């Protein structure tokens, strides 16, 4: 049986995802300061390359994991009635899943 993300694992997910997101943001900022795209088509060409697309997908996966752990802890700490807690966690999971599906659609399924 798989253990839930809690304790040390949750702490590690938060830290590793935060470090990756910071490095990705710094990379994108430096990249655009050095090689600024001259048009939307140039930016889109860069984003549709596999390296940038994979890095962006990992960024959003890290963002979703970071948000899940952080908001889950807030809900567990501050929402005391069990039914409300389960409902809030279900809404959070649904929202993050929908956001993840939207990101996949944008990064991988849109052509043209």
Residue range 14-61, pLDDT digits in tens: 999 999 999 999 999 999 999 898 899 988 888 888 888 999 999 999
Supply φ then ψ for residue 107, to 5 degrees: -80, -35
pLDDT at 1 over 70: no
Give the integer Cα–Cα distance in Å for 99 and 59. Answer: 13
Beta-carbon contacts of 100 under 8 Å, excluding residues fewer than 6 positions away, are 60, 61, 64
Cβ atoms 85, 75 nearer than 8 A: yes
CATH architecture of 8-109: Up-down Bundle (1.20)
Q: 80-104: string of b/e by CB count within 10 Å (b at 16+)? A: eeeeeeeebbeebeeebeeeeeebe
Give the confidence band of 112 by pLDDT, cuts at 50, 70, 90: very low
In this structure, what token pair is assigned to residue 48? 């549709």
pLDDT score at 3: 58
Segments making up each domain of the chain, as ranges: 8-109
111, pLDDT greater than 60: no
């Amino acid at each position: 049986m798989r253990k839930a993300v809690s304790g040390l694992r949750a702490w590690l997910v938060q830290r590793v995802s935060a470090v990756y997101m910071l490095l990705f943001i710094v990379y994108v900022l430096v990249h655009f300061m050095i090689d600024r795209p001259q048009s939307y088509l140039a930016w889109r060409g860069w984003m549709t390359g596999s390296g940038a697309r994979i890095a962006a997908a990992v960024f959003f996966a890290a963002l979703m994991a970071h948000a899940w752990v952080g908001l889950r802890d807030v809900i567990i700490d501050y929402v005391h009635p069990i039914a409300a807690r389960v409902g809030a966690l279900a809404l959070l999971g649904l929202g993050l899943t929908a956001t993840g599906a939207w990101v996949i659609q944008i990064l991988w399924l849109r052509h043209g």
